[in-house]
Amino acid sequence: MKFETPVLPYATNALEPVISQKTIEFHWGKHVQTYLNNLNNLVSGTPFENATLEEMVKKADGGIFNNGTQVWNHIFYFNSFSAKRGTQLSDKLMKAINESFGNLDAFKKEFDTQAASIFGSGWMWLVKDEKGKLSIIKASNADNPIRNNLMPILTADVWEHAYYLDYQNKRADYLSALWNIVDWDIISERYANYNPIELKKS
């Protein structure tokens, strides 16, 4: 049994011009597929062979952790966006943003500033703790807040493969453009309910 390749929830050109079709084809079509292939090969014959993706992210180390977390993170990242424009935060999410960061613009600025400062490859996260309080955390390489019992709400992939074709070295431009494609309906739902990311096996 191997994890099946998940389906991208929109057309490969749906996020243009913020993320080009070419970037989606390489990032989703090649990079994510490689992580998934690696994961399927690595778990064979290990105690994680029948584990869920979330169990791997929470408990594995080494190659299974790195590839499993990269798969999880990318599904979460690509499912943060849509071709819809003008979606709005729920009242509850807006209230939590205001309590932690002052207002939405201040949150975006802090998120982008911290993400731009990640040295090398990594992920920027907006997370919720068990009391509903929001905070932002930086992570290097492959890491995921669920390992620390924090609920991911939003993420930005700051590995160069996420933006180099479209923005070259200008990571800050990529980050500020991402806000134009964030689907706040999805992000608000994540704040309200945790829905584990799982992959089908066949």
Q: Which residues bind Fe ion (CB under 5 A)?
A: 157, 159, 162
- In the three-class reduction of DSSP (H, G, I as helix; E, B as strand; rest coil), residue 109 is classed as helix
Between residues 98 and 121, which has the closer beta carbon with respect to Fe ion?
121
CB burial class (10 A; 0-12, 13-18, 19+) of residue 45?
A: exposed
Comparing CB distances to Fe ion, the nearer of 159 and 184 is: 159
The residues facing 154 across adjacent strands are 126
Q: In this structure, how many other beta carbons lie within 10 angstroms of the beta carbon of residue 161?
A: 14
Which residues have a Cβ under 8 Å from the Cβ of 137 and sit 6 or more positions away? 124, 125, 127, 145, 150
Output the smallest distance, CB 160 to Fe ion, in A. 9
Residue placing its CB nearer to Fe ion in the complex, 93 or 162: 162
The minimum distance between CB 57 and Fe ion, in angstroms, equals: 15
Residues sharing a CB contact under 8 Å with residue 39, sequence separation 6 or more, in sequence order: 3, 56, 64, 67, 68, 71
The residue (of 75 and 151) whose beta carbon lies closer to Fe ion is 75
Residue nearest to Fe ion (CB): 157
